[in-house]
Amino acid sequence: MVMTNVTTMSGFLLMGFSDIRELQILHALLFLVMYLLALAGNLIIIIITTLDQHLQPPMYYFLKHLSLLDLSFISVTVPQSIDNFLMDDGYISHGQCVLQVFFFTSLAWAEMAILTVMSYDRYVAICFPLHYEVIMDPSKCKWAVIAIWLSGSISGILYTATAFSITFCRAKIIHQFFCDIPQLLKLSCSNDYLGVIGVAVFMSVMAIICFTSIVLSYIHIFSTVLRISSAEGRSKAFSTCLPHLFVVSFFLSTGIFEFLKPTSDSPTAFDLIISVFYTVMPPALNPIIYSLRNEAMKGAFRKLLMGGEFTRKKIFLSCC
């Protein structure tokens, strides 16, 4: 990688995982496989939840938007990283870095928000089944998703505006494979990064509120499910809740660990692996996780493979 004029250049230098050429190519191939897996899996979910009449209720409507978020989220960092690995050039322009920070933070927050809404949807479906269609009616679903995307955009604007208002006076080297905000803050040699800290604290409080809502929802869900006398009923309830709980736990645990740990000028392989776990793995694994124990999803996927026709219900179509 080019290491000259890293202080005066307008952009930034992403160090990635290794300077060894063979390892760079291996990383590019692994990222390409994960990206194609995420691309195929999430596109399939978007297609079948749009076309199949059995996949029109709110749970699948939110799942479709989660897939759209995942597809966008992984596209923010991985294609650029693959290109950097293959070209043996970690340079990223200032404008590209700004866009990457904006879309990364926007989509990360939107994903947190939609996971919270999805947990509330499961809470209402299992704890208040007779009132489910009234509480989760199409117009409320639509406004919930609009709020999710808008809140993500506001988060991205706040983070981006404060992050790039600081003065970068150190060598513009980022020890990551994408423009990571904690790494950007290390490039400042004054206290003008306090605005970013303020935004981060505010968003952390909001994330804690979302996490608390998710935990409370699942406490009520599991207490209700355990009272179900039918083993088949318990199994059906767990089949829709456990995948979501796993996705939430994986996304939050890796993300929180990454942002709470102190940044380093020479991050270990473990640090970089953790960053992969919350940026690359969730979008690639979510389609598999949500499909494994869901018979309706597996049936729709088989129908798609066999070229079967989908018929659509009018109910919930206004949400799509």
**Domain CATH for 272:** 1.20.1070.10
**Across 262-287, average pLDDT:** 76
Residue 92's DSSP bridge partners are 12
Number of alpha carbons in the 13 Å side-chain half-sphere of residue 187: 26
311 occurs within a structural domain: no
Contacts with 256 (C-beta within 8 Å, 6 or more apart), sequence order: none
313 occurs within a structural domain: no
Q: Per the structure block, which two tokens stand in for 301?
A: 């996927």
Contact 85, 33 (CB under 8 A): no
Least confident of 20-34, 77-91, 224-238, 297-311: 297-311
Q: Could you give the angle at the alpha carbon of 298 between the alpha carbons of 255 and 302, nearest 5°?
A: 130
317 occurs within a structural domain: no
Q: Could you give the CA distance from residue 306 to residue 209 in angstroms, rounded to a whole number?
A: 44
5 occurs within a structural domain: no
Say what the pTM is: 0.84
3-class state of residue 187 by DSSP: coil
Which residue range forms the structural domain that includes residue 27?
11-306
Q: What's residue 266's pLDDT?
A: 64
Residue 268: pLDDT over 80:
no
Q: What share of the chain is helix, strand, coil (3-state, %, to 5)?
A: 75, 5, 25
Residue 320: pLDDT over 70:
no
Contact 27, 17 (CB under 8 A): yes
Which of 23, 71, 8, 59 is closest to 319 using CA atoms?
59
Tell me the pLDDT band of 66, cut-offs 50, 70 and 90. very high
319 occurs within a structural domain: no
Residue 293: pLDDT over 80:
no
18 occurs within a structural domain: yes
318 occurs within a structural domain: no
3-class state of residue 292 by DSSP: helix
Which of 144, 165, 38 is closest to 101 using CA atoms?
165
Tell me the pLDDT band of 281, cut-offs 50, 70 and 90. confident
For the ranges 67-76, 122-131, 169-178, the maximum mean pLDDT occurs at: 67-76
Contact 141, 57 (CB under 8 A): no
Helix 94-127, helix 231-260: angle, nearest 10: 150
pLDDT in tens, 100-155: 999 999 999 999 999 999 989 989 988 888 898 889 988 999 999 999 999 999 99
Backbone angles phi, psi at 12, to 5 degrees: -130, 160
The residue that leads in pLDDT, 53 or 279, is 279
pLDDT in tens, 190-247: 676 677 788 888 888 888 888 889 889 888 888 888 887 777 767 766 766 777 777 7
Length of the chain: 320
DSSP state of 12: E
**Across 248-273, average pLDDT:** 70
DSSP state of 56: -
Q: What's residue 263's pLDDT?
A: 63
Residue 13's DSSP bridge partners are 91, 173
Structural domain count of the chain = 1
- Cα dist. 117→40, 121, 228, 245, 248 in Å? 25, 6, 24, 13, 11
285 occurs within a structural domain: yes
Residue 173's DSSP bridge partners are 13
**Across 298-317, average pLDDT:** 61
Residue 188: pLDDT over 80:
no
Q: Give me the helices (H) in 52-137, please.
A: 58-87, 94-127, 132-135
Q: What's residue 4's pLDDT?
A: 46
Contact 6, 173 (CB under 8 A): yes
CB atoms within 10 A of CB 29: 13
